Amino acid sequence: DLSNAIVAQDEMGRPFIIVRDQGKKQRKHGVEATKSHILAARSVASIVKTSLGPRGLDKILISPDGDITITNDGATILSQMDLDNQIAKLLVELSKSQDDEIGDGTTGVVVLASALLDQALELIEKGIHPIKIANGFDEACKIAVEQLDRVADALTISDKCNLLKAAKTSLGSKIVSKAHDQFANMAVDAVTDVADFDRKDVDFELIKVEKKVGGSIEDSELIKGVLLEKDWSHPQMPKVVRDCRIAILTCPFEPPKPKTKHKLDISNVEEFKALQEYEQMKFQQMIDLVKASGANVVACQWGFDDEANHLLLANGLNAIRWIGGSELELLAIATNGRIVPRFEDLSPEKLGKAGLIRELEFGTTKDRMLVIEECSNTKAVTCFIRGSNEMIVAEAVRALHDSLCVVRNLIRDNRVVYGGGAAELTCSLAVSEAADKQKGIDQYAFRAFAAALDTIPLTLAENSGLDPIETLSNLKAKQAHENNSHLGVDCLGKGTNDMRELFVIDPLIGKKQQLYLATQLTRMILKINDVIISGADDY
């Protein structure tokens, strides 16, 4: 289309074409804008939808540099998709905020939000104003949340049994499924070790997650202490030291060197021997000072040569060398020790204390790590994740994160609702019931909201290879008939729909958050009726 084009001439008289349109702002307006947003959201949601639930499928994501991620986690899938649609980006933000607040339910929230938008589209096409719809959805959301409060059960969490089961459920659909028990145990132990049960809070700063490629998922372990990427300085030192008293040193294990420009002249054997003896004596002095303080482990910021290393071994001292500044600090904090700059300053009360230091070896690689456990000061723990390749390790870390979050959420608030779509179904029934009592336009919005809630059990059924419509209508009828809010989709074919029996639970705060966030996002998108994408200015 050349109607916008003008032909101009440059100073040399050569013609060129200016196409005006290119710099123009793009603009969509009114219902058309809203509709196009909803369609964009739908296409994003259709991608994550198939990964919902324990039978959900994994996605493989390839970055522009060719890095590969395999995952089932909604937030991760969305964050790695290269989206240039603004509304699609809002969905990404949505799953991110669910992830930040709750850490779980990131796929569900996107599926719900897009279902709400789909329903809204139908109402818009009936001629209902978007703001009316948004208001109706807000009201319906309130009713749904009240229903959640009503059906929530308080879980006993004083023994670890329930926490374990909950952690296991959250791992349900993740790649680590063969190491379920182990990962669930790791999550529960990690959280309960650092949890403050009086304040009902868990400081995630105290749970470090370290990963190392190699070995298998089953080699992952929880380390109640600190992990250093170091080994003992001499291969013959014992691999395990108990009752450690650690001298944490920033001074080198070296004889004092002649400073700067002075040359050391050695012209005969006697002089060389004298020098050697002098060095030996200096080493011995240092070692004596260390031993006098009562230390049996030396952690040194600097290196030392073979001579010193040998002497340490001969004196029964285990040593670690080249510890980085921050690691040295971490070690000092964890073991309640002081960092000592000179051998003369060593004293028993400055030593760090730990029950156990052991060296980990990794298969055929030369990699080693030191584990410092039973530290005197810190509650910190480290989840040490292994796996045969980077993708597996990364997905295992994400899965662990989910179950850490579930356990933390239960410690914060022990009320739960039931999964497999059971909670959504009971909310849907409650909202439908309320719709019947409404007179105005709100009843349409209520029905639409209820239908959106149904999408969760529908999707779960579909992903598990069940007939979605049949499953949904059966469940609905049963829930209403038996007045039982525990009935959900039997995704794994266990032979019962009772989610309480199967212990498929979701923390109440997580489920509420999903409803709030999805409703808020829908309102936000429905309110936008103008998109102006700025281009270059017109001239």
76 binds ligand ADP (CB under 6 A): no
Footprint (CB under 6 A) of ligand ADP, residues 378-437: 419-420
- Applying CB under 6 A, the span of 52-60, 159-167, 233-241, 441-449 interacting with ligand ADP comes to 52-60
Active site residue 21: no
Question: What span, in angstroms and rounded, lies between the C-alpha atoms of 431 and 447?
Answer: 7
Question: What span, in angstroms and rounded, lies between the C-alpha atoms of 219 and 210?
Answer: 13
Q: Give the distance, in angstroms, between the CA of residue 161 and the centroid of all CA atoms in the same chain.
A: 23
Active site residue 107: yes
Q: How far is the CB of 468 from ligand ADP (least distance, A)?
A: 14
**Given the residues 402, 454, 490, 506, the one annotated as active site:** 402
Candidate residues 31, 333, 441, 492; the one interacting with ligand ADP per rule CB under 6 A: 492
Q: Element (H or E) spanning 25, and its range?
A: none
Footprint (CB under 6 A) of ligand ADP, residues 169-198: 169, 172-173
352 binds ligand ADP (CB under 6 A): no
Residue 487 backbone phi and psi in degrees, to 5 = -90, 125
Q: How many residues bind ligand ADP (CB under 6 A)?
A: 27
Answer yes or no: are the C-beta atoms of 247 and 346 closer than 8 Å: yes
- Pick the closer one to ligand ADP by CB: 400 or 460: 460
Question: What span, in angstroms and rounded, lies between the C-alpha atoms of 455 and 452?
Answer: 5
Q: Give the 3-state secondary structure of residue 14.
A: coil
Candidate residues 69, 107, 114, 519; the one interacting with ligand ADP per rule CB under 6 A: 107
Which residues lie below 8 Å from residue 538, measured CB to CB, with a gap of 6+? 20, 23, 24
- Pick the closer one to ligand ADP by CB: 411 or 499: 499
**Given the residues 73, 99, 189, 442, the one annotated as active site:** 73
- Pick the closer one to ligand ADP by CB: 105 or 507: 105
Q: Give the distance, in angstroms, between the CA of residue 159 and the centroid of all CA atoms in the same chain.
A: 25
Characterize 330-348 residue by residue with b for buried, 16 or more Cβ atoms within 10 angstroms of its Cβ, and e for exposed.
bbbbbbbbbbbeebeebee
- Pick the closer one to ligand ADP by CB: 212 or 415: 415
**Given the residues 34, 69, 107, 382, the one annotated as active site:** 107
Query: What does the DSSP assignment read for 129-172?
Result: -HHHHHHHHHHHHHHHHHHHHHH-EEPP-SSHHHHHHHHHHHTT
Active site residue 118: no
Measured from each CB, the residue nearest to ligand ADP is 419
Instruction: Give me the amino acid identity at 260.
Output: T
Show the tokens assigned to 154.
């308080």
Q: How far is the CB of 155 from ligand ADP (least distance, A)?
A: 15
Write each residue from 458 to 487 as x if it is in contact with ligand ADP (CB under 6 A), else as -, in one continuous string: --x---------------------------
Candidate residues 144, 400, 411, 489; the one interacting with ligand ADP per rule CB under 6 A: 489
Question: What span, in angstroms and rounded, lies between the C-alpha atoms of 15 and 178?
Answer: 70
Candidate residues 49, 54, 293, 405; the one interacting with ligand ADP per rule CB under 6 A: 54
- Pick the closer one to ligand ADP by CB: 78 or 357: 78
Show the tokens assigned to 423.
């909670």
In the complex, the residues that contact ligand ADP under the rule CB under 6 A are: 51-54, 56, 72-74, 104-108, 169, 172-173, 419-420, 456, 460, 488-489, 491-492, 502, 504, 506
Write out the catalytic residue numbers: 73, 106-107, 402
